[in-house]
Structure formats: C-alpha cells, structure tokens
Amino acid sequence: MTERVSARLPARHGFFTRRGGVSSGYYASLNCGFSSDDPLCVRENRARACGVLGMAPASLLGLKQVHSNKVITVTSPWAEGEGFAADALVTRLPGLALGIITADCAPVLFLGDNGAVGAAHAGWRGALAGVLEQTVQALRQLGAVEIKAAIGPCIHQASYEVGIDLRDEVLAETPASAGFFAAGRPGHFWFDLPGYCASRLLRTGIDAEILPHDTCSDEVNFFSYRRKTLRQEPATGHQIAIICS
C-alpha cells in the first residue's frame, strides 16, 4: 500500500493512494468511498488504511461530505454511516482516526500544538465558503495555538479547467484571488485549487505544505472525478486521508 505523508505533521497520518486494496473495475483498488462500490470491499480497504497507521477500523470517523463550511467537533465517536453532513472534523479525544475522502478535491490535515487534530474536505465551493478557516477556528476553540497543516493530493492547475462563472464567484469574495486563474480557451481558465486553499489558510496565519501530486494526471496512483467525467466513465473511486489523535 502506498500513502503520502507530510514532514510538517508529526502525528500518525496518511494521504492514501488508490493502490493496495481489494476493489475491482472502476474502483480498483483501495476505494474508500461507499457511494456505489461493494460495501464489503470498502470496509476492507478502510481497514487496511487504518492498519497502516496502527489503528483499529472502528476508530475511523467519517462524514457525509456536502461541499459546505460546516465543521464537527468530535466529543464522542459514532458508528459507520452515522457521520454528520459536514466537511471537516476536529478532536482532542485520544485514539481516533479522522478521515476525509476525495477524488480531486483537496484533503487537508491539521495538527495543533496541544495534540488536537483536524481533517477537512476542500473543493472550490467549500474553500470559498470558508471550511478551512472554520476548521482552524474549531481547533483554536479546542485550545490549539500553533497549528500545522498539509494539503494532500488533489487536482492541480494544469488539469483543472473551469468556466468564467466559477472564477467570478471566487473573485467576488476577493479580487486578489485572480492570481490563481490562468487564461485558457475563450471563457475558460485553469484554476490552482491547492494554491487557493493555501492562501485561505495563510489568512489565518498558517503556512500550509502543498503535496505535489495531481490526482487527475496520475491515474496509476489516484482516483479522479474530473478524469472520469472527461472519459464519460460511469463511476470512480475515492481515496482517503486520515490523521490520528
């Protein structure tokens, strides 16, 4: 199994690839999303990811991700499938694994100086709505002062063509974000999602690391919703990012 890690996060964590699982077809092989794959395969895949980090599968907490800015502060664990509709979670409880699934959106993992941890799912819409800033605020409410963050494998600018409507929404929040768009064919732009996420975090005083892996261009290692769409394929899997408390 192959996972990516950040040297900035001295906690057990991993940005997992699509390799090393048991799923087949469009979900081959470490698909960790339950959307349409065989649930037994997904459970095994998640268990394998947890095992790499030395965690029991029951310790893994996930969410019903909805591209929002809602953050859940975990005060007690929940059973599989009972996660809240939200896009980030934080905790100081020991012995938990916080998980986010992605297939082009940015998985962002956080570690506070008091041991608090967080995980956020940041597509362009969630990032624009402030999910990353809300995650930082939730960590600070748990007592963290110094916070480290890493932005994991996601779609990068060379692969992410967007329309003028998306650009206009982002620039309406702050015109300074124009630098994250490069001109493409008429009416289209190439959007730097990880750079944009990093800039949002920098506003809160956090200099986040950006891992250099482009999910869309690296088919061997990553699932990609954009690649699936361009090829008009019926389905794709999701990789998982986990940080342990």
For 52-87, how does the pLDDT look when each residue is reduced to its tens digit (9 = 90+)?
A: 999 999 999 999 999 999 999 999 999 999 999 999
**Structure-token pair, residue 24:** 């087949």
Amino acid 239: pLDDT: 98
Number of helices (H), then strands (E), belonging to the chain: the values are 6, 14
CA-closest candidate to residue 124, choices 211, 45, 218, 190: 190
Structure tokens at 199: 């800039």
Q: Where are the beta strands (DSSP E) in the chain?
A: 3-4, 13-16, 60-61, 71-73, 88-91, 97-102, 106-112, 117-122, 147-151, 161-163, 181-183, 188-191, 209-210, 239-244
* Whether domain 3-154+206-244 has CATH 3.60.140.10: yes
Residue 204 pLDDT: 98
Gap between the Cα atoms of 13 and 34, Å rounded: 21
Is this structure's pTM higher than 0.95? Answer: yes
Q: For residue 3, name the pLDDT band (cuts at 50, 70, 90).
A: confident
pLDDT, average across residues 200-204 = 98
pLDDT at 1: 66
Q: Where are the domains of the chain?
A: 3-154+206-244
Q: Over range 11-22, report the average pLDDT.
A: 98
Q: Which tens digits make up the pLDDT trace of 98-129?
A: 999 999 999 999 999 999 999 999 999 999 99
- The answer to whether the CB of 206 falls within 8 A of the CB of 168 is no
pLDDT, the chain, mean: 97
